[in-house]
Chain A
């Protein structure tokens, strides 16, 4: 049982490039979340989904997009990378709306 799997673990992007952070869970959870965590700070919610085909904005959605075509996958898209998006990104899932299972994170640097 893999839980929540995030790829890649590390990435360096140039300003203006785009990329997709992948997140997959094998627990059949309806709820999935994307958070970012800046150094020494708590987690900020970017987007979340309550089920396949349904997504909604969190606290800090600007510069990001998501999709939820299946229960298992919840990719996060950065279209035009900016230095302010340098952060650690965590994907999480839950069965009851309260995040309990986190992936290992993706460390993203934009230079």
Chain B
């Protein structure tokens, strides 16, 4: 079974610190990877996607991908209390046309 694994947390960081969220995947056929933010009681919101090995930066967010290690991460710099949410990692396999989600990591940013 194709799986995406995340530590459920909560991950607690002080305001202004870097939050590091990690994700591993089992399907080597996965070609693109997505990070969604989900506030409590709300729907997921796409914040980053990455296709190639290395880093991809967008504002305070950096996604990192290492296909050899089957590892994806999301760094949030200068964390704010408004970043407190659950972050879902997802892997997409073009052949299966399916996005597989991890269980999510709950992030808490303390003022």
Contact = CB atoms under 8 A, between A and B. Distances in A.
Contacts of A16: none
Contacts of A43: 44, 88, 90, 101
Contacts, number: 51
A98 B103 contact: no
Interface size of B as a range = 20 to 34
A55 B1 CA distance: 22
A42 B102 contact: yes
A105 B6 CA distance: 23
Task: Tell me the dominant secondary structure on chain A's binding face.
Answer: loop
B88 A90 contact: no
A98 B108 CA distance: 28
Interface string B81-108: 0000000101010100111111110000
B62 interface: no
22 contacts: A33-B99, A40-B103, A41-B103, A41-B104, A42-B6, A42-B101, A43-B44, A43-B90, A44-B101, A45-B98, A48-B97, A50-B97, A58-B98, A59-B100, A97-B97, A98-B49, A98-B92, A99-B99, A102-B43, A103-B43, A104-B42, A105-B43
Interface of B: 4, 6, 8, 32, 34, 42-46, 49, 88, 90, 92, 94, 97-104
